[in-house]
Structure 1
Amino acid sequence: MRLPDLEAWAIFAAVVEHRSFSAAADAIGLSKATVSKAITRLEAQLNQSLFHRTSRRLALTEAGKPLADHAARILAEARAAEEAARDAASAPAGRIRLAAPMSFGNTNIAPLIADFLVLHPGIEIELHLSDARVDIVAEGYDIALRIADLPDSSLRARRLCGISTHVVASPRYLADHGRPTHPNELGEHRLLGYANIVGPWRFRRSDGAEVSVRAQGPLTANSGDALVPAVLADLGIARLPGFIIGPYLDSGRVTEILTDWAPPATGLHLLTPPSRLRPARVEALIAWLVDRVRDPCAMVGQAKDAVA
């Protein structure tokens, strides 16, 4: 049986990651000629081209695109195996790349990371905060926290907790424009939209009835926090997670509406690449987060300054 050319697959993954033969060669400490020969060798074994090459641009072919994910996994598993062997003889050390939602990351994750680093001085964490969905494998993240209903994928996922969602407006807005009692009435109101959720607002009642409403209004933002000032300024109705809007509900500055109709249930998930091999430092951070991320709404309510 012929063994796979694992070196060529790893070099292919490096070229995809760094988007050029030269950059990949510099990153992995090989000559450009060695990198080029490995790609040529792999293309010959597969009997297909992996890259379109021009003097100015390097791009994956249609055949190369699906193979890039396989190559990235091969490289990641090899690195994880080596690191696991080293970690077994020493304290966890090295860099972890972690992606988390912007608002949730600032209020809930950043404090936990600080505490974790105090206990693990040999570990470095690169924390990327954004509400945009990242490609964990392609962008090289070890862990991603995501608030969403997850589509089927090859990623490993663990649900940490539920996230409540509330449809809210200011008391003044409701006094001036009326209080909707059915989702269909939202079409007569100004709705403040969250750009990272594509499609209509969906609702479900306890008797199984379902309604969808298209969100239209004066503001759409890719951050839930950015919608709060507009709600407080009486500009419209928003649909926001409890960890953002909870303190304002508690203080009475906003009012929840349509309580008989629930937005789709969602949760906070911890995602990792498909490989079951993970360095000890990544396992340590996963265990830390799983143990401490319990009730995000309560945590944020305690952590935020008074908003009244």
Structure 2
Amino acid sequence: MMNLKLGKWILVSTMALSLGNMHHVQAAEMPAVQDVKLIRFSGQTIKVSWKAVKSAKYYHVYYQTGKGDYKLGRTTEKTYGLITKLKKNTNYKVYVTAGKTQKASKEDSQPSAVKSMKTKAYKRTIAFAGDSIVGCLHLQPTMITKMHSTANVKMVGITSINSRTFRTQRKGKGMTGIERVKSYHPYRVYFLLGLNEVCYRPFKDILADRKNLTNQLRKQNPNVDVVWCATPPVTKAEMKRAPHMRLTPALNKEMEKFAKKNHCEYLDYTAFLKDKKGFLKGKYATPDGFHWQKNACEQFGTLVGKYDKTLDD
């Protein structure tokens, strides 16, 4: 009888201990936000980015000028955001907390390490880099208008270029494509490449060259945003002429995985260009079957302009 009671006592005690441990896990303190970065966005706006906290749903960004109290700059579910309407030529201190509720609460994490930046006059530059598709965009200035961007927009489009020759072949002023892009000190770069290599270059070589291009930009500016865009479709007639263009969807799938692995963005903007069978629509195509007419360039500008804003706020 004593053994039975003892057994029950041990069982109950073990259950209580287990429940206690569960409660302890549930009430565990939210980890502090790590890897906070301040990135200059404009003369009166700072972009703040950080590493995700697995258990967090919301993040609260606080800022301070001088020795005053910290103010809540914004609350977001993303791992980045803008602090706007700041004073010019002013030092700001910023930290981020993580939490599970939209309103700041005592359950939020401890503040991250404090980062500092002084606002100053700045005009960010967005660059589009790649083959003759970028050349088409360059010839249609209304594409930039459709973006509705406050940034400077630069185009580096080179005919018959691919991911390797963009970094090895010297063109105007003796510069390679990637050297020209770097000369603009871009805030963000959109790469549009693929039409001149999907037919004949192994995917592993294409990806290796694109990693090299990404690394060159990051060596100059670790905070640069790199966006790899999908290779666009061609017309049915062009597909008959160059049947290996059927590999384009497979390359785009590999690029989506590449972007995630290498902490880049991937933009598949091609839906509006395609007909029901995946070919480039005739109303958007030039006679060669792969370049874009003005209406396609403008629609691309509208689409990428909306997308571009989501990368900052």
Q: TM-score, normalised by structure 1?
A: 0.29
Higher relative contact order, structure no. (Cα contacts within 8 Å, ≥ 6 residues apart): 1
Q: TM-score, normalised by structure 2?
A: 0.28
